A and B are shown apart, each in its own frame.
Chain A
Amino acid sequence: MNDTVHLHPLAQVFVIPSSVSVIEGGACLEHLNRILSVETLELPPLARKDGLICNANGRILDSATICNLGSQVIILGNNGTGDETRQTIASGIPWDEELVVKDADTAISHIILAGKAPSRCLAGLGIDTGELMVEKWLEFGNSLISVNWRCANAIQILVPTSHCESLVSALVENGAVTADMNQWSRVRILSGLLDEHELNPLNLPLELGLENLVALNKGCYPGQEIHARMESRGALARSLVRLRSNDLLPEGKKKVEHIGTVTITDSCSYGGENIALAMIPNAAAEIEEFTFDDGSVASVESI
C-alpha cells in the first residue's frame, strides 16, 4: 500500500472514466482465466481480483479488475479500451461454451472516493466500513464497494450510471467533496494509482512494479513467457518513479545525459511544483535528482 499523507484532508469523490464489460455464462471465470494474468478459477461470489490483459509480447493491453457475481463477471478496465478488450474476450470463446460479452460502459459508472478518511463518508451512509477490503466487493444497495489494492485510502465504487449522481450527492452530504479530473491526476500521481497513462502497450507489468498482478505459477496466459523470463533474469530495463520539479514536466520522452530517455506518462501542478509519473532507465532509479538536457531539474521518488 502506498503512503497517503499527501491526500486531501476530506474525502474527494471522482467519477472516473473507465471501460466496463460484463461476461455472462457458466464458464465465464474459466474463460477469463485463459486470458488474464492472474488466477480467476476459484473466486467466490463478490470476490475481487486485479489483473491485466496482455499481448503475446507481455505488454499491457488493459487492466482488468474483476467482480465475480456468479454467472456474471464485471470487468473494470481502462478508459477507452473497452471495445478492444471485449473483442479479445469474445473472439476466443470456445465453440461449446455459451458465453455472452456485453458492453457496460454506459450502464455502470466507476467512482473513486479518495482522501485521508473516506470511510467516514461511507459510514455516514450506513455502510459497515469494517467490511471493506481489497479482496472483496461489498454490496450496498445497487452498488459494489471495494478498497483499491494499491492505496487503502482509495475506495472504488461501481454503481448503475442511472444512480451515480444520487450516490455522489449522498457522499457529499456525508462530508466528501466533489473533485475534477485535474485533481484526480494529482491524487493518482501522488498515490501511484495507475491508469491508461501507464497501463498500455508501451509498458510491461514488472517495469511498473505490478508483480502482484502477474501470476507466474498459474500456467500459460498471453504474455506469460515474457513475464517469466523477466522475473527469472531479474533485470528490468526501466522502472516507474514519481518526479517533482519546479519546471514543467510535459508528457512524453525527454533526454537525460548519462541516464538515457525518461518517459513522462502524466503530470500536473501541485503545491507550487510540478509532479509526474515517469518511466526511467532502471540504472537511474536510485538517483535522487537529475537534470534534463533542456536544463530542467527533477527529483526522483520511488513508488
Chain B
Amino acid sequence: MGIMDGDGFSLPVVAQVEVVDVDISFTDSAKAAMRAEFQGDEVSRVLIISAQSGGCSGYLYDMRIVEDPKDEIFQRLDVEGMDVLVHNKDSALLNGITIDFKDSLMGGGFQIENPNADRACGCGQSFG
C-alpha cells in the first residue's frame, strides 16, 4: 500500500466559476491577422481564446487555432465567418475583452484589453 492508497481523499475539486454569455470585440487589424492565421480553413478550424493560471498577475491569455472540438462546453462567436470559441469556465474572465493586433517588431502581435482585470502584467500576456 502506498501513500495514495488510503482513505479520505475528496472527489475532484470543482473550480467555482461563473458562466456568462461571452462577448468579445475585435479590431479590424485583429480580424485581418486572424484571417491570415486561419490560412483559408475557416470551416474545420476555430480560434480558441482561453485563460489559464500563470503569469505575473495570476492568469495568462492563450489563443490557439485548432481543429473544431465541437463541444457544447465552448461558447461560439462568429467573427466575419471565423469561429471563435471560449470555454464556459473562462467566460467570466474573458467577457468584454477587446482584441487588437499591432504590427510591430517590438511588443507586436495580438493585444488584449480586459475590463475584468484589476491588474495586468507589463508584457500584456497576464492579468488578474
Interface assignment of B1: CB less than 8 Å from any CB of chain A: yes
Cβ-defined contact, B15 with A31, below 8 A: no
Cβ-defined contact, A142 with B3, below 8 A: yes
Cβ-defined contact, A87 with B16, below 8 A: yes
State the CA gap A143–B1 with chains docked (Å). Answer: 9
Measured between beta carbons, the chain B residues less than 8 angstroms from A163 are: 6
Cβ-defined contact, A220 with B52, below 8 A: no
Interface assignment of A250: CB less than 8 Å from any CB of chain B: no
Specify which of B9, B53, B55 lies most central, judged by the most chain A CB atoms within 10 Å of its CB.
B53
A160 to chain B, nearest CB (A): 3
Cβ-defined contact, B9 with A107, below 8 A: yes
0 or 1 for each of A137-159: is its CB under 8 Å from B? (1 = yes): 00101111000000000000011
Measured between beta carbons, the chain B residues less than 8 angstroms from A139 are: 2
A273 to chain B, nearest CB (A): 40
Number of interface residues of A (CB under 8 A): 44
Stretch with Cβ within 8 A of B (4 or more), from A94-102, A171-179, A186-194, A207-215: A94-102
* The one of B4, B53, B60, B87 that contacts A22, using a Cβ cutoff of 8 Å: B4
Cβ-defined contact, B52 with A92, below 8 A: yes
Which residues of B from 8 to 22 have beta carbons under 8 Å from A? 8-17
Measured between beta carbons, the chain A residues less than 8 angstroms from B62 are: 94
Measured between beta carbons, the chain A residues less than 8 angstroms from B8 are: 104, 106-108, 160-162
Q: Residue of B at shortest CB range from A57?
A: B119
Stretch with Cβ within 8 A of A (4 or more), from B29-37, B96-104, B120-128: B120-128
Q: Residue of B at shortest CB range from A24?
A: B12
A60 to chain B, nearest CB (A): 14
Interface assignment of B77: CB less than 8 Å from any CB of chain A: no
Stretch with Cβ within 8 A of B (4 or more), from A10-18, A195-203, A221-229, A262-270: A221-229
State the CA gap A86–B14 with chains docked (Å). Answer: 9
Cβ-defined contact, B14 with A34, below 8 A: no
Which residues of A from 68 to 110 have beta carbons under 8 Å from B? 69, 72, 74, 86-95, 100-104, 106-108
A105 to chain B, nearest CB (A): 8
B76 to chain A, nearest CB (A): 14
* The one of A74, A100, A107, A223 that contacts B56, using a Cβ cutoff of 8 Å: A223
Cβ-defined contact, B56 with A221, below 8 A: yes
Interface assignment of A56: CB less than 8 Å from any CB of chain B: yes
- Decide: A160 near B3, CB < 8 A? Known: A35-B54, A92-B54, A225-B122: yes
Cβ-defined contact, A144 with B12, below 8 A: no
Specify which of A69, A103, A161 lies most central, judged by the most chain B CB atoms within 10 Å of its CB.
A103
Measured between beta carbons, the chain B residues less than 8 angstroms from A282 are: none
Measured between beta carbons, the chain A residues less than 8 angstroms from B3 are: 69, 74, 108, 142-144, 158-160
Cβ-defined contact, B13 with A220, below 8 A: no
Cβ-defined contact, A86 with B13, below 8 A: yes
Cβ-defined contact, A222 with B128, below 8 A: yes
- Decide: A222 near B57, CB < 8 A? Known: A90-B14, A108-B3: yes
Q: Residue of A at shortest CB range from B66?
A: A96
0 or 1 for each of A112-145: is its CB under 8 Å from B? (1 = yes): 0000000000000000000000000001011110
Interface residues in chain A, defined as those with a beta carbon under 8 Å from any beta carbon in chain B: 22, 31, 34-35, 55-56, 69, 72, 74, 86-95, 100-104, 106-108, 139, 141-144, 158-163, 220-225
Knowing that A34-B60, A94-B50, A108-B3 touch, tell me 18 more A-B residue pairs with CB under 8 angstroms: A56-B119, A86-B13, A90-B14, A91-B89, A94-B62, A95-B48, A101-B13, A102-B11, A103-B9, A104-B10, A107-B6, A160-B1, A161-B8, A162-B6, A220-B55, A220-B123, A222-B54, A225-B56
